[in-house]
Structure 1
């Protein structure tokens, strides 16, 4: 089961857990209130999994690819890791399904505090359009993930500040309604 927690303010290696002391866990319900959705699936049957196929149909995820993030497999590894870890938003949902390995997605809560979501094999997450977030590997330095999109893939990340985009404005309204 996925774990999430509020992060400390340390600027040490982002691949470390960065848990507060004392720990301040975040529940799946708290994540849902931020628009973050979660599923636990069987990655060993991702090519034929009826549950994944159903989610893809229901949410209109029509495009898919698989990315491996590690020094040996990702060109310009160090540069890409820095880009992934820079706080940003997208104008569309971000969907990631971890097929192997592990890493962290960090999202901002309503008070602009960081929540770290530990993702491992079998975890699938959807981040809503307009949410500020970032990604990093953990200390294992390896993840293989499926990327899903509605329609054609859009890779554009808008670094913070990006308040002027309609997707951000809609997300802020969503947060106000869930308050």
Structure 2
């Protein structure tokens, strides 16, 4: 089964709303893999049970030059005194930003949402579940949050040394943003 994605209800993206909910439009408006590919988003469905020996994952890593990997476990803590840090971390991941490089994530367990902006600046919510590997292109506005399961285990892949610098919106003058818009055939707004 392919990844699930949909246009978000724009009226529910305020800070008062629980970011971990699906926020579907009514009626739901699903987004196809082709639509995501048109935004430069790549997708593979792999076997997370065998990720350490998965030949398909190795082929992807070799063909795209992903020579560094780590694993991130994000979950709601059992200890009440750690909750403030947890919510702050979620809030930080949920800030709209870009990166100067691709963002590559492979869901090994749990689930969460990557939200991306389309060409009309609308939010698309991508629901990552075990086996989903996505590549977000450099320069695309996006954010991340857990869903109500409050747990995700993600493999992060990088070309070379890991760099995870987030540039919060607006970043229209950032070289990665300009290149991304150029690839989409959209004019750069100065």
TM norm. shorter chain > 0.5 = yes
Aligned to 1:47: 52
Aligned to 1:148: 157
Superposed CA deviations along residues 63-109 of structure 1, whole A, max 9, x for unmatched, are 00000001239x73222111110000000000000000000000000
**Aligned-residue CA RMSD in angstroms?**
1.2
Please give the secondary structure, in 1, of the residue aligned with 2:87: helix
Please give the secondary structure, in 2, of the residue aligned with 1:173: helix
TM-score (norm 2): 0.90
Aligned to 2:4: 3
Please give the secondary structure, in 1, of the residue aligned with 2:93: helix
May I ask how many residue pairs the two structures share in their alignment?
Answer: 176
Superposed CA deviations along residues 37-87 of structure 1, whole A, max 9, x for unmatched, are 1100001100000000000000000000000001239x7322211111000
Q: Which of 173, 176, 179 matches 1:164?
A: 173
Structure 1: distance between partners of 2:165 and 2:88: 16
Aligned to 2:148: 139
Unaligned runs of 5+ in 2: none
Aligned to 2:135: 126
1:164, distance to aligned residue in structure 2 (A): 1.0
Q: How does 1:13-92 map to 2 (within 5 A)?
A: 13-72=18-77, 76-92=85-101
Please give the secondary structure, in 2, of the residue aligned with 1:135: strand
Aligned to 1:173: 182
Structure 1: distance between partners of 2:25 and 2:66: 35
Unaligned runs of 5+ in 1: none
Structure 2: distance between partners of 1:21 and 1:40: 28
**Pair 1:97 & 2:98 matched:** no
Q: How does 1:105-120 map to 2 (within 5 A)?
A: 105-120=114-129
Structure (1 or 2) with the larger CA radius of gyration: 2
Runs of 4+ in 1 over 2 A off after TM superposition: none
Superposed CA deviations along residues 2-49 of structure 1, whole A, max 9, x for unmatched, are 110000021321100000001111000000000001100001100000
